[in-house]
């Protein structure tokens, strides 16, 4: 089974992309299951096949322990860790080729506590897996926003330790020229540096350039892929990039 974990900041478009990717895969007559790992979600734009909400009741946890939204999510994820084997069994019982896992939006809670990475590695243990990291087009449209989103992507990559594709989500809200410009930042660091020098000043510019150098030293990774979950564009290219990772063989969760 091929596992795709969809990650990104709250509101970056994870749930809608999960729905659109499923639709696209089904259109190609591939078998797919959706796993929802967000205990706090109300009405996701898809029907999940496996759902963390079957195991933990976010509203009840919030009420019982008098928690706020962040505390509630932390408690719910910590409790869900006890059921991770059941979740895994349920996913494998679907018998599909592709499992798409929609992750909670609060990245600082999901990626930077132990329960998130533990759940990811337990669910997909020994199966080919990758993370799709969504850069929200609203943020990545400026050179500073792009750079800070890439930095977050790097940090997420460090936490989950899986091959990762960076996607420019909601690309439909930008003009084609703007999308092309943002993609060129991922292709050529010098183009990004020029944009940064134009848009930033003083200390901010120094920080941004230092981060850019660091990303450059690390090799940059694959080119940013623009997608629109709303208009179903870029999904074919995304699938191609996913296949290249899945079939490369160095992507097993340890
Ligand atoms: N224009 C546009 N809006 C999108 C797209 N994907 C998601 N959205 C909107 O962005 C908001 C957040 O999307 P959602 O999938 O719930 O984000 P999540 O919190 O990361 O799961 C919703 O209002 C979506 O309708 C897209 O491709 N294009
Ligand atoms: Mg969501």
Distance (angstroms) between ligand 2 centre and the Cα of 15 equals 4
| Rounded Cα distance, 189 and 185, in Å | 6
113 closest CA partner among 76, 65, 60? 76
**CA distance readout (Å), 222 to 18, 65, 145, 167, 215:** 21, 44, 19, 10, 12
| Rounded-to-integer distance, Cα 136 and Cα 197, Å | 22
Question: Considering the entire predicted model, what is its pTM?
Answer: 0.95
Using CA atoms, how far apart are residues 12 and 110, in angstroms rounded to an integer?
A: 15
Q: Which two tokens stand for residue 18?
A: 């999960």
Residues in the chain: 254
Pocket test for ligand 1, best of 9, 11, 13, 175 (most atoms within 8 A of CB): 13
Residue nearest to atom 4 of ligand 1 (CA): 170
Using alpha carbons only, give the angle 31, 89, 164 rounded to the nearest 5 degrees: 60
pLDDT tens sequence for the chain (254 residues): 999 999 999 999 999 999 999 999 999 999 999 999 999 999 999 999 999 999 999 999 999 999 998 899 999 999 999 999 999 999 999 999 999 999 998 887 889 889 999 999 999 988 999 999 999 999 999 999 999 999 999 999 999 999 999 999 999 999 999 999 999 999 998 999 999 999 888 888 888 889 888 888 887 677 899 999 999 999 999 999 999 999 885 544 44
Ligand 1: residue of 10, 16, 36 to mutate (most ligand atoms within 8 A of CB) is: 16
Which residue from 16, 14, 28 is spatially nearest to 243, judged by alpha carbons? 28
From atom 23 of ligand 1, which residue's Cα is the shortest distance away? 11
pLDDT of residue 254: 41
Give 3-state DSSP helix, strand, coil % of the chain, rounded to 5.
Answer: 55, 15, 30
SS3 label, residue 80 = helix
Q: What is the structure's pLDDT at 243?
A: 95
CA 11–ligand 1 middle distance (angstroms): 6
**Closest residue to atom 3 of ligand 1, CA basis:** 170
Closest CA to 166 of 7, 1, 2: 7
Beta carbon of 228 within 6 Å of any ligand 1 atom: yes
The alpha-carbon radius of gyration of the chain (Å, integer) is 18
Say how far apart CA 82 and CA 119 lie, in whole Å. 10
Distance 111 CA to ligand 1 centre (A): 20
**Ligand 1 atom having least distance to the Cα of 169:** 27
Beta-carbon-side half-sphere exposure of residue 110 (alpha carbons within 13 Å): 21
Domain residue ranges of the chain, discontinuous segments joined by + = 2-246
**Which residues are paired to 128 by β-bridges?**
252
Distance 12 CA to ligand 1 centre (A): 6
Assigned architecture for domain 2-246: 3-Layer(aba) Sandwich (3.40)
Ligand 1 atom nearest to 12, measured from its CA: 20
**Spatial distance between the Cα atoms of 59 and 47, rounded to a whole number of angstroms:** 20
**Contact 8/107 with Cβ under 8 angstroms?**
yes
């Amino acid at each position: 089974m091929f596992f795709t974990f969809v990650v990104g900041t709250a509101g970056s478009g994870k749930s809608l992309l999960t729905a659109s990717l499923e639709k696209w895969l089904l259109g190609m007559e591939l078998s797919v299951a959706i796993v929802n790992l967000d205990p706090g979600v109300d009405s996701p734009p898809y029907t999940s096949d496996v759902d963390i909400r079957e195991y933990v009741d976010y509203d009840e946890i919030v009420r019982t322990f008098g928690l706020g939204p962040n505390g509630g999510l932390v408690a719910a994820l910590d409790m869900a860790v006890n059921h991770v084997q059941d979740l895994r069994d349920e996913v494998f019982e679907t018998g599909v080729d592709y499992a798409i896992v929609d992750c909670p939006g609060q990245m600082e809670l999901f990626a930077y506590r132990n329960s998130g990475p533990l759940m990811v590695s337990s669910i997909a243990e020994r199966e080919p897996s990758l993370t799709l990291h969504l850069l929200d087009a609203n943020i990545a449209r400026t050179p500073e926003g792009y750079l800070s989103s890439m930095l977050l992507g790097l940090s997420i990559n460090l936490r989950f330790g899986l091959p990762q594709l960076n996607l420019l989500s909601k690309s439909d809200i930008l003009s084609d020229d703007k999308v092309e410009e943002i993609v060129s930042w991922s292709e050529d660091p010098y183009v990004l540096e020029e944009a940064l020098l134009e848009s930033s000043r003083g200390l901010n510019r120094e920080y941004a350039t230092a981060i850019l150098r660091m990303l450059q030293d690390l090799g940059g990774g694959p080119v940013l892929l623009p997608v629109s979950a709303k208009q179903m564009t870029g999904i074919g290219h995304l699938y191609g990039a996913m296949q290249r990772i899945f079939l490369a063989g160095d992507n097993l969760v340890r």
